[in-house]
Structure 1
Amino acid sequence: MRKSEFDREMNSRAKRKSGVIFLALILLILVCVAVGLALSLRTDPLSENLKSDRVVKTLFVMEDKGEVLFTDVFIYYPPTKRGALINILGNTGAIYRSLDRVDRIDAIYAEKGIDVYKSEIENLIGQTIPFYVVFKLEDFGELTDMLGGMKVFIPDSVDAKSDDGEHWLLPSGVVNLDGDKIHTYLTFSKADDSEDDVIERRQNVMLSIFNAFGKNQRILGDRVTFDSVSKKFSANLAPDDLFRLFSELIQVDSERLIPQAITGTRRVVDGKVLLFPFYDGDLIKDVVKQASNALVNSDDENVNRVYVLEIQNGTTKTGFARNTSVLLQSAGYDVLSTTNASTQDYEKTVIINHIGNSEAVKQLGDFIHCTNIIDEEIDYETDANVDFTLILGNDFDGRYVR
């Protein structure tokens, strides 16, 4: 009898054990199904971006101890591997909601951080920027060495000392700088340096970064080595998504990247020299929009080409051509000359197309709302000094043809 009871107890325990194992297996299967479903439903940020926007916009920031050295909005069109750079100058001034005062835009980064900074730049350019990448100068030297150096052009050799006694030593010419030298290149300053000199050097580094990306596609295109490199910067993307983004960006034709900068009027506010964008910020919005549209709509010949303009004043307004040259240079055009037209009684603005490029001249016309375009007969035996001549009429208000 005791044996029978013992057997029944053992059988009961075995059944309970089997039931527990069965339930555990069911639970494991449910967990696996849930994880698989979650992964299948997970959205890829880059793919989601391209559903609503044909170009990919990424904010690149270089900072040193919490202070911005330079900021660029990079616009990339994957089908053609072409891109555009918009340099956001640190002293760009406005009334910023996040600060509740008039100040430099880079003060937002120092006080509020990258997310608020990105948001204010989105307001400035009138477009969303889904992604950001932040380089810290303290880590940038190591990143530079990982990528085999940064190639820049230095017009004059540098041999000077800082106020703290730091020795600045840089060679002249086209040089490949290692991590230590790139740190010097980004931070040194000479007594005769202008603000534009400093901006140009830092933009040279931004271009060098993309050049280094392109030359290291094998390294950056491999997930294992990319994970090591990506530790030297931060971004608002998970590792898998960051790798996917960089897999696209490293393919850009860096040789054809030409940075465009914000233009405006400098005014002193509370002891700070601030740059207030022209036309209450509408111009920079138009420049970014035009850059994006050009990447998508232009053929290979037109993308990133700098067109040369001659601007003639066909009115009695003093300085009209010169002021208009500033407007068009901010949009990426090269102005060869500004002169008076043969007469000053032009009622309508006209664009003369010397090169037969209907798409490029239309882009120029769209930028200033001018539809009065004349196609000049092309002389193939001589090279035109300018691509387009713009003759300003009384219907041009300094920004648009009305």
Structure 2
Amino acid sequence: MLLILAAVLSFAAGAGMKVFPIFNPDEASIKQNIEYDEKTGTVNILIVGVDEIPGEKTRRSDTIAVASLDIEEKTIRIISIPRDTRVQIPERGWEKLNHAFAYGGVELLHETVVNLLGIPIHYYAIVNYDSFPKLVDLIGGVDINVNKHLRYTDRAGGVYIDIPKGQQHMDGKTALDYVRFRHDALGDIGRVGRQQRFYRAVFQKMKEPEMLSKIPEILKQGLEMVDTNMTVSQAIQLVAYLKDIPSYKTVIAMLPGRSAYIAGVSYWIPDLSAASELLTAVPEEAEASVDEVAPEKDTLTVEGPQIQELVARIEEPIAVLNGTGQSGLAGSASRLLQSIGVDMAYIGNAKHFDYHYTSIRYPDGSKAASDRAEALAQMCGLSAEVVRPEKGLKNVTIILGKDYEMVFNRLERLTP
């Protein structure tokens, strides 16, 4: 829902609504009207997506994130915190983060997140999934090209998702099913990609001329659907102030860490040092380096026998490394490749999590390995620029970068 409001406000601020001062605030007015951290110049907002279970009084915090908005540098950093993050909940001990909301609502969750990240949280925004469809219907739905048939049934929970592949006009309910679906091999990674496509669809919708007259009513009703301790004018001012920032100044990441089992329970163990770096690092405009060259385009269209030819050329197991820090990425990629017919030697993490572009490395001096690497690049839709030799390697290795979604989309299309 917050994504919808951001799109509406961004469009409104640039669509001739300049007669309203709150749509064009300056830095001074923001600092005067909005609480912020004077040491860092940031406004930190706890974002909670809440799911209500029929027949139960307790609400679940299905999505938890912290948005850190730098007023002076005009930078947005959003860190998604896994629900299973192991934290110390005041007066409860070590438990999963989403239990904090169930125990004590947003107040206890707020206190727990502050203790976890070591930063002040100035505001919160709670989005109830019951409200999401209403806002999507308010803008007349969205058009999205679904890249595969999404199906899931949970009779006990009353969940029935069935969205066909292809171009779809989605009403509110269908859009909610689309952005929440995660019951495939990609799990949460696939869900993030779908949410990004939904966001783009909303922006496209707001460009339609007939939407201009509806903006005031959309703002009014939309903001009423969000439970927050910000006033309506504060929310509008803050989003409008940040509407024109370049894309490289928007950083979206998951809380760094690792998965682990403790006493038979699955947890996400956070790397707080890496989290601190994420929250304080100054984003720089991406530039291609010697080690990372942006692929020019998706260079291959393969079908039928061509796929089998590529699989045959990749005659030995390969390695898949996660170069982004996004949990579970290497495992998801390996499952997609295995479903196509490519065998795995091993999966794991790369030396660092700063790979902007996906690349392929192969053992230096091996013509056979070079051919396998080229076939893998073709299969993944990567250009020859990102394929290079490396000394000391035993296997052809694909290192997933921050453009991994393009690779995943390609592999999904090739999956039988």
TM-score calculated relative to the size of structure 1: 0.56
Q: Are the equivalent residues in 2 in contact too, given 1:152–1:205 (CA < 8 A)?
A: no
Confirm whether residue 232 of structure 1 aligns to residue 219 of structure 2: no
Q: Are the equivalent residues in 2 in contact too, given 1:69–1:202 (CA < 8 A)?
A: no
Find the partner of 2:278 among 287, 293, 303. 287
Q: Are the equivalent residues in 1 in contact too, given 2:37–2:120 (CA < 8 A)?
A: no
Q: Are the equivalent residues in 2 in contact too, given 1:134–1:235 (CA < 8 A)?
A: yes
Report the Cα distance in structure 2 between the residues aligned to 1:131 and 1:58, rounded to whole angstroms. 5
Bigger relative contact order (CA 8 A; separation at least 6): 2
Size of the aligned set, in residue pairs, is 286
Find the partner of 1:183 among 162, 176, 195. 176
RMSD between aligned residues: 4.6
Cα shift at 1:145: 2.0
Partner secondary structure for residue 46 of structure 2? strand
The aligned runs of 1:163-182 (5 Å cut-off) are 163-164=155-156, 166-173=159-166, 177-182=170-175
Cα shift at 1:88: 1.1
Cα shift at 1:170: 0.8
Report the Cα distance in structure 1 between the residues aligned to 2:165 and 2:154, rounded to whole angstroms. 19
Q: Are the equivalent residues in 2 in contact too, given 1:59–1:133 (CA < 8 A)?
A: yes
Partner secondary structure for residue 72 of structure 1? strand
Q: Are the equivalent residues in 2 in contact too, given 1:325–1:338 (CA < 8 A)?
A: no
Confirm whether residue 112 of structure 1 aligns to residue 104 of structure 2: yes
Cα shift at 1:92: 1.2
Report the Cα distance in structure 2 between the residues aligned to 1:214 and 1:44, rounded to whole angstroms. 34
Partner secondary structure for residue 242 of structure 1? helix
* Map of 1:205 onto structure 2: 195
Q: CA 1:56–1:102 in structure 2 vs 1: closer, same or farther (change >3 Å)?
A: same
Cα shift at 1:64: 0.6
* Map of 1:375 onto structure 2: none
Unaligned runs of 5+ in 1: 1-40, 311-319, 343-381, 392-402
Q: CA 1:135–1:265 in structure 2 vs 1: closer, same or farther (change >3 Å)?
A: same
Counterpart amino acid of 2:273?
D
Find the partner of 1:336 among 359, 366, 379. 359
Counterpart amino acid of 1:231?
E
TM-score calculated relative to the size of structure 2: 0.54
* Map of 2:236 onto structure 1: 243
* Map of 2:80 onto structure 1: 87
Partner secondary structure for residue 62 of structure 1? strand
Q: CA 1:70–1:97 in structure 2 vs 1: closer, same or farther (change >3 Å)?
A: closer
* Map of 2:135 onto structure 1: 143
Cα shift at 1:112: 1.7
Cα shift at 1:232: 1.4
Unaligned runs of 5+ in 2: 1-28, 53-58, 293-320, 326-347, 366-382, 393-416
The structure with the largest helix share of the pair is 1
Q: Are the equivalent residues in 1 in contact too, given 2:259–2:267 (CA < 8 A)?
A: yes
Larger Rg: 1
* Map of 1:58 onto structure 2: 45
Deviations 1:339-371 (Å, cap 9, x if unpaired)?
A: 8999xxxxxxxxxxxxxxxxxxxxxxxxxxxxx
Q: Are the equivalent residues in 2 in contact too, given 1:220–1:247 (CA < 8 A)?
A: no
